Chains A and B, each alone.
Chain A
Amino acid sequence: DAKTTQPTSMDCAEGRAANLPCNHSTISGNEYVYWYRQIHSQGPQYIIHGLKNNETNEMASLIITEDRKSSTLILPHATLRDTAVYYCIGTNNNNDMRFGAGTRLTVKP
């Protein structure tokens, strides 16, 4: 798995966009960028993943830089329920999800 680096914590105002960065400068060409989140005392929840192109689904958007060394997860309109730890994982194998420390996002009213 690629080594990823994320800020330890971030705050976001309710209703505003939350932009969570992830650095993965050593990611290899066949490794995808996955994002999961974990709300307190629950199992991780899949958010989105991508290889090269930007991706969007009903939960979030994933913007991957052209050189693929970093990416940004965007929650377009954060709610209080989006408060969680967000994990960015670089892997070429959905069998092998190894978690770093993640970013603790706190959405404030």
Chain B
Amino acid sequence: GAVVSQHPSWVICKSGTSVKIECRSLDFQATTMFWYRQFPKQSLMLMATSNEGSKATYEQGVEKDKFLINHASLTLSTLTVTSAHPEDSSFYICSAPEREANTEAFFGQGTRLTVV
């Protein structure tokens, strides 16, 4: 089946630095990808929709200048957490749906970000 891969699986960074997370669709093209954030013992919260060839759309309350999204190609979206703070420590997950409607969406394995 289709696979979505995230890199890195985990990352530790210092406060004030920026971290980039990659999301790749390995065997299919994805014009749209989605970024989620999950805090401990909570559900996944949709952060933004990444659109190939156009600007990302962000959910209410998500700072677009802090969470930069670039959908560089039909198989790659990146999320950059800028000027990271400890409260940005979380599990970040991307997903990409198949183009055919009413089929499944595929999720990456997630990236654990720890800001110290």
Beta-carbon contacts under 8 Å, A55-109 to B: 87, 92-102
B34 proximity list for chain A (CB < 8 A) = 95, 97
B36 proximity list for chain A (CB < 8 A) = 99
Asked, given contacts A43-B93, A93-B101, whether A98 binds B46 with beta carbons under 8 Å apart, the answer is yes
Encoded as 1 (CB less than 8 Å from any A CB) or 0, chain B from 73 to 108 comes to 000000000000000000101010110011111111
New A-B contacts (9) at CB < 8 Å, excluding given A97-B95, A101-B43:
A41-B91, A41-B112, A43-B108, A43-B110, A44-B44, A45-B107, A46-B105, A97-B46, A97-B105
Beta-carbon contacts under 8 Å, A31-50 to B: 32, 34, 36, 38, 41-46, 49
Query: Which of A42, A94, A102 lies in contact with B105, CB distance below 8 A?
Result: A94
Asked, given contacts A43-B110, A45-B107, whether A99 binds B44 with beta carbons under 8 Å apart, the answer is yes
CB contacts between A and B, total, < 8 Å: 57
Is the contact region of chain A dominated by helix, strand, or loop, or is it mixed?
loop
A41 proximity list for chain B (CB < 8 A) = 91, 110, 112
Kindly state whether residue B18 has any CB partner on chain A within 8 Å. Answer: no
Q: Are B107 and A95 in contact, CB atoms less than 8 angstroms apart?
A: no
Encoded as 1 (CB less than 8 Å from any A CB) or 0, chain B from 1 to 41 comes to 00010100000000000000000000000001010100000
Asked, given contacts A44-B107, A94-B97, whether A102 binds B43 with beta carbons under 8 Å apart, the answer is yes
Shortest Cβ distance from A76 into chain B, in angstroms?
21
Chain A interface bracket (under 10, 10 to 19, 20 to 34, 35 or more): 20 to 34
Residues of A within 8 A of B (CB): 32, 34, 36, 38, 41-46, 49, 51, 87, 92-102
In the complex, what residue of chain B is closest to A45 when comparing beta carbons? B107
Asked, given contacts A87-B43, A97-B95, A99-B44, whether A32 binds B109 with beta carbons under 8 Å apart, the answer is no
A-B contact pairs, 12 of them (CB 8 A): A41-B112, A42-B109, A42-B110, A43-B95, A43-B109, A44-B44, A45-B107, A46-B107, A94-B105, A95-B97, A97-B34, A99-B45
Query: Which of B104, B107, B109 lies in contact with A34, CB distance below 8 A?
Result: B104
